[in-house]
Amino acid sequence: MYDKLRRLAAFHLRRERRAHALDATELVSETYLRLASTHIELADQTQFFTIASRNMRQILVDQARKQLTTKRGSGELAVEFDEAQVATDRPRELVVLGDALEDLVRFDERKASVTALHYFGGLTQQEIATVYGVHANTVSRDLRFSEAWLRGCIET
């Protein structure tokens, strides 16, 4: 199970900028600490990995928020603009995406979970359909809705 968690952590970290403070082992450890402090009864491994993936994403979002606070002067506007750094440094985008995903969870938890399983957990639409006991077309519609929802939140 540890190897699967490390692969999941590596999957999340591949989507991050290169100079990220955490490596896969540290992300798995942080996730374990969060999961160990909660008392959740899990139905199966799929649910465990869904929750682990969501926690990994949240750890990365929290770290991005922390970095924005310390690196950017606690909310003060920066005077200098370095275009090369903007291309490689994406914590603000990660925070916006995290907030949009949280809004989606409040609006429709299944659509948010389907999106997390697909984009952060790496599951196919058919695998997600099996998990939820719905047709793959339903998963496809949920993903299209979620993408439109997230795009609307990010563009505003």
pLDDT tens digits, one per residue of 64-99: 777 766 555 555 554 454 555 444 556 677 778 888
End-to-end CA separation in angstroms for the chain: 40
**Nearest Cα to Cα of residue 45 among 107, 1, 92:** 1
* Cβ neighbours around 130 below 10 Å, total: 14
| pLDDT-based confidence at residue 127 (cuts at 50, 70, 90) | confident
- For the whole model, what pTM was predicted? 0.47
Q: What are 48-67's pLDDT values in tens digits?
A: 888 888 888 888 888 877 77
Distance separating alpha carbons of residues 152 and 156, to the nearest angstrom? 6
Q: What single-letter amino acid sits at 99?
A: D
Distance separating alpha carbons of residues 130 and 142, to the nearest angstrom? 14
**Nearest Cα to Cα of residue 66 among 111, 25, 127, 20:** 20
